[in-house]
Amino acid sequence: MTGFSTTQNFPHQIVAPLKKMRMATLLLIIMTGTAFGEISDLSSNTDLTELSLEELMSVEVTSVSKKKQKLSKSAAAIFVITQEDIRRSGVTSIPEALRMAPGIQVARGSNNQWNISSRGFNERFTNKLLVLIDGRTVYNPLFAGVAWETQDTMLEDIDRIEVIRGPGGALWGVNAVNGVINIITKHAQDTQGLLVSGVTGTEEGIVSVRQGGSHGSDFQYRLFAKYFNRDTSFNAVGAHDDTRMFRSGFRTDWQPATQDRVMVQGELYTGNGGQQSTVATTTTFPYAFTLGNEDLEMSGGHFLTRWEHTWNSGSDMALQFFYDRYERRENTVKATIDTFDVDFQHRFAFLSHQEILWGLEYRYWMDDLQNTPGTAVFPDSQSFNLVSGFLQDEITVIPDTLIVTIGTKLSHNHFTGFEYQPSGRFLWTPMDGHSLWGAISRAVRVPSRLEDNIRLTLPANSTTPFPTLVRGNQSFKSEELLAYEVGYRLNTFEWITFDITGFYNQYDNIRGTRVVSLAPPTGTLENNLEVDSLGVELGSDVQLQDWWRIRGAYTYINMWVEGPINTALSTTGRGTPHHQGSIRSLMTLPYQVEFDSWLRISDNLPAPNIAGYLELDLRLGWKPWPNLDVSLVGQNLLDNHHPEAAPSLFLATQPTEVQRSVYGKLTWSY
Amino acid sequence: MMHRPHHAFGLCLAIVIVLSSLIWHPEHSQADGPKEYQIKVAFLYHFATFVDWPSSTYKDTDGHLRICIMGKDPFGESLDATLRTKKIGSHPLEIYRNPSTTTLKHCHMLYLAAAQSSQLRTYRQQYGSANVLTVGENDIFIQHGGMIKFFLDDQKVRFAINPDAINKTNLKVSSKLLRLAKIISP
C-alpha cells in the first residue's frame, strides 16, 4: 500500500498554500480599505438622452439578468453550449451536445448507456459530476451519478447548457467534485406558438410537438410531447440496444408583480430498451451465469416549482421545491427512487463592495429495490436525508479589476455525517477583455447506496480469472479532492475569443477493491486509491467572416493512480483519453442555407484497449420560409461503426459501437 | 489528518468577513451603473431622432410624436421623467401606455414588452397601414414582423434592425442608425 505514505504528506502540501492565502487575505484587507476611491461615471441621475448612440452602446447595465451575464466573467472554467450550437451541430440528444465542451469526456456505451465525466474518471457509472436541469438535481443516489439514458427534453426548447469544469463544491452541491452541468430550458415566453419537428434517418426517428400560449401579459405556458425510437447499434455478437421513449411535459412562467416570478414545470416519461449482459443466477461459488439479451424498462417524472423575488435594493432570493421519481426494471437491477428537495437561496449586497450568497437545502430520498441472485442490496428499501448550507462572499477588491470569492458548503449526509467543502477564487481583469482567474477548492463525493451495502456476483473477466463476489463497505468514506485551477480568457476582439484552463487535482480515498478471501474469491470496496490528475483545456471561437465561424476545443488530461488497482472493478483512470479535440465550422450561406461540419478526435482509452477515433458530422440546413427549417445531417461519417466506451466490470453489460447515421429533419413553427 | 489545514481556511474566512465588514464606505454605497431600462429609454429617444415619419402622421407642424407602450411597462417613471420635456425637432413627445384601438392608429412608435412579442400581428391588424415604428425585445417579435429589437451583449444594450419590415412602410431610417445596428432578418 504505497498509497498511505503519500497521504501522510497531504497536510504539508495544503498548509503551504494556505499560509500564502492568509498573507493574501491581509493584503486583500489592506487593499479593500484603499481601493474604493473610484466612482462609477454614470450615476442614476444623469440624463442618458444626452449621450450619443455610440456612447449609450458602451454603457454597462445593471440588470436582473446580471446573474446570467456574470457567468462569462466568473472565476471558473465555464463553457456555454447555446441553442444555436445545439441546432447547428445536428445532435439529437443532450449527451451528444456535451461533446462540444472542452474538458468533458463523452462515450456512448450503447443507445441507452452514456459514460459522461468531467476531468476524467470516465466509466459506465461515472460519479463526481453534478447535473441540474432547470435547477433540479438529477442525482442517482444508487451509484452517485446520472442516469443519462432518461435525461432528455425537446432540444429546440433548451436555452443553453452551462458546463462548469472543476469543483463547484462550495456552491453547487455534494456531487460537484469534477464539474457541474447546468441545463436551462427556455422561458415560456420564448416558446410561444406551435412547433412541430420530425427526424427520420438510418438510426433513429424523432417526433416532437410543442404548443406555447399566454394568458394576459403576465402568464405564459408551453406543453410538449416527444417520442424517439433508436435502432439497434453494432456489436459483433448482436447489440440488442434498440431504445424508445415517450415523454410529455409542461412549463408555466408567471410574473404576478414586476419583482416576482413563479415557474412551475412537470414531466412524465416512459420507455424501454435492451442490453446484453452476463447475470449470475445462483448465489454459491462457482455460480451459474447466463449471457443474453435482456429488456429494460424506464419510467419516471418530476414536478418542480420555483419562486424568485427581487428587492428594489437589488438583492434577490429563490425558493424551490421539486419531486422526482425514477424507475428502472432489468434483470440485475429493479429500482424505484423518490426524491423530495427544498432549496432556498438569498443574495444581497453587503456594505458597498461585497455580495453575499447563502442557501439551505434539504433532500429526502426513498428507494425500493428488488434483489436478484447476482445483485442484492441490504436493506432492499431505505430512506435517507441530506441537509446542506452554503455561504459565499464575493468581494470586489478593485472595481472592474479584482474580485475575490470565498465560500464554503457544509452538509450532513446519511453515510459519512458532516462534510465541508471550502473554496477560494479570484478573478483579475487588468485590461478590458483579458481576465485571469485562479481557485483552490476542496470537494467531496459522498458514498453511494451501492458502495454502502451491495452484494454483487461478477463473472470472470480480464482482471480476475475467477467469478468473484464483491461486497459493499459500510465504513466506506467520502472520496476527497483538493483542486488547484488557473485560467485565462481573452475577449478583447469581436472576432475571436480564447480560453485556456489548467488544473492539478489531488484525490484521496478513491474507490478501489481489496481481496478479503480467495476461496471463494471475495472482494470488498475500499477507499484505497490515490489519484493525481493534471490537465489543460482550450476553447476558442473565431468569427473568420460575417458568414463563417469556427469553434474549437482541445482537452489534455493525465491521471496517476496509486494503490492496488489490478483487481476487478478498478477501471479508475482507464476510461479517459489523454487527448480529445473538436473543431466545428458554421457557415451561413446565401439563400438561407447553412453548412456546418464538426470534426472530433479522441485518443485511445488507456485500458482496456479501445482504439481512438476520428469522426465527422456534416449538416446542410435550409430555411426556405421563416417558419420552416429543413436539414440533412450525417453523423459519424468516417466509420461504419466505432467503439467509444470500455466494457464495465461493475455490471457486466456489453457496450455496443456507434454507427454511421444519416437523417433528415423538418421543423415547422407558427 | 486533514483537519488542521482546513481549520486555517475557516479562520481565514472568518477574518476576511469580520474585517471587511469593518470597512465602511457610505458615500459610495450606490456606485451602481444605470439600470437596463433607463438605457433603453434613451435608445427610444434616439430612435425617434433618427427615424423620419411622413408629415401626415402629425396633427400639425407642432404635433406630438407619440410613443406607445404595450403590455407591462418595464420602464416605469424613468420614461416620463426623461422624455416629458424632450422634443424631436418641433414635435414634443407624448407617452401612452396600453392605448385603445383608436389611439393605437396614431402611435408613431410602438414598444412591445417581451411578453407581448407574439401579439404584434394582432396590433398590426388594428393599426393597419399606419406608419408605426415597432420596437421589441426578442426574436419572436422579429419573426412576427417587428422592426427593431433590443439585445444585451456583455452587459451592454445593443439593437438589431430588420430592414425588410421597415421597407414595407414609408418610414425613413437614417444610415447612421443602420450602421450602428446589427442587421437581421426573421
What pLDDT is attached to residue B25?
38
Taking a C-beta distance cutoff of 8 angstroms, is the pair B68, B110 a contact? yes
Selection from A611, A581, A490 nearest residue A542 by Cα? A490
Interface test with A, best of B16, B119, B179 (most A CBs within 10 A): B16
CB contact under 8 A, B33 and A58: no
What is the Cα–Cα distance from A209 to A228, expressed in whole angstroms?
12
Range of the domain at B123: 36-183
Give exposure, B145-160, as e/b (b: 16+ Cβ within 10 Å): bbbbbbeeeebbbbbb
Interface test with A, best of B1, B155, B174, B175 (most A CBs within 10 A): B155
Calculate the CA A495 to chain-centre distance. 29
CB pairs under 8 A between A and B: 188
Residue type, A585: S
Interface test with A, best of B1, B3, B6, B30 (most A CBs within 10 A): B6
Of B11, B31, B35, the CB nearest to A61: B35
Residue B18 covered by a domain: no
CB contact under 8 A, A61 and B152: yes
CB contact under 8 A, A54 and B180: yes
Whether the predicted interface score ipTM is above 0.85: no
Residue B153 covered by a domain: yes
What is the Cα–Cα distance from B11 to B26, expressed in whole angstroms?
27
* Lowest-confidence region among A367-376, A384-393, B28-37: B28-37
Residue B7 covered by a domain: no
Residue B147's CATH number: 3.40.50
pLDDT surpasses 60 at A23: no
Tell how strand B148-153 and strand B156-161 pair up: antiparallel
A442 at B interface, C-beta within 8 A: yes
At A27-59, the pLDDT tens digits run 443 333 333 333 334 444 567 888 888 888 877
CB contact under 8 A, A43 and B30: yes
Top pLDDT among B2 and A445 is at: A445
At A231-268, the pLDDT tens digits run 999 988 788 899 999 999 999 999 888 788 999 999 99
Q: How far away is chain B from the Cα of A262, in angstroms, using its nearest Cα? A: 15
Residue B11 covered by a domain: no
Residue B28 covered by a domain: no
Concatenating the DSSP letter of every residue in A332-380 gives S-EEEEEEEEEEEEEEEEETTTEEEEEEEEEEEEEEEE---SSEEESSS
* Lowest-confidence region among A277-286, A638-647, B63-72: A277-286
Residue A48 grid cell: 442618458
Pairs from A586-591 (Cβ < 8 Å, separation ≥ 24)? A586/A88, A586/A548, A586/A549, A586/A550, A586/A551, A587/A547, A587/A548, A587/A549, A588/A546, A588/A547, A588/A548, A589/A547, A591/A622
Q: Please report which confidence band the pLDDT of residue A63 belongs to, taking 50, 70 and 90 as the band edges.
A: very low
Taking a C-beta distance cutoff of 8 angstroms, is the pair A460, A469 a contact? no
Q: How far away is chain A from the Cα of B153, in angstroms, using its nearest Cα? A: 9
What is the Cα–Cα distance from B138 to B113, expressed in whole angstroms?
9
Q: Please, what's the largest Cα pairwise distance for chain B?
A: 85
Residues 6+ apart with CB under 8 A from A330: A275, A277, A294, A295, A296, A297
Report CA-CA distances (Å) from A448 to A119, A368, A445, A651, B29.
Answer: 20, 15, 9, 15, 47
Residue B178 covered by a domain: yes
Residue B27 covered by a domain: no
Give the residue carrying C-alpha cell 467520502: A478
- Work out the angle at residue A154's Cα, subtended by the Cα atoms of residues A148 and A157, and round it to the nearest 5 degrees: 120
Residue B67 covered by a domain: yes
CB contact under 8 A, B35 and A62: yes
At A537-595, the pLDDT tens digits run 999 999 888 889 999 999 999 999 888 765 545 567 788 999 999 999 999 999 889 99
Q: Considering its fold, how many domains does chain B have in total?
A: 1
- Which chain B residue's Cα is nearest to A349? B29
